[in-house]
Copies of this chain bind each other. A is one copy, B any other.
């Protein structure tokens, strides 16, 4: 089980509109990710500000990056989100996961 300090860190990383926006973009983008500058443009945020937020997200383990030429591509790492959601459903949904998983259809 994920320890609570790591959960707090992940929650804090997502608890800011720009960072949540970044993460959502990266999830939608898939494994190839998106270049930093393109994210900045999409969200209307200055590169410096964005770089600051990237640091928070990657420090929490939610995103990673790879350099490609002079571009830096960021992409989502699902593991931490996975663990975070698991922690919330286990500890914050009253034992029975269904309490906080309304839309899941089990075919």
- Chain A interface residues (CB < 8 Å from chain B): 4-5, 7-8, 11-12, 14-17, 20-21, 23-24, 27-28, 30, 76, 78, 81-82, 84-86, 88-94, 97, 99-104, 106-107
Contact = CB atoms under 8 A, between A and B. Distances in A.
A103 to B, nearest CB: 6
Given A12-B15, A78-B94, A81-B100, A7 B20 contact: yes
13 contacts: A5-B17, A8-B14, A14-B15, A27-B91, A27-B93, A76-B94, A78-B94, A78-B99, A85-B85, A89-B101, A89-B103, A89-B104, A97-B103
A8 B4 contact: no
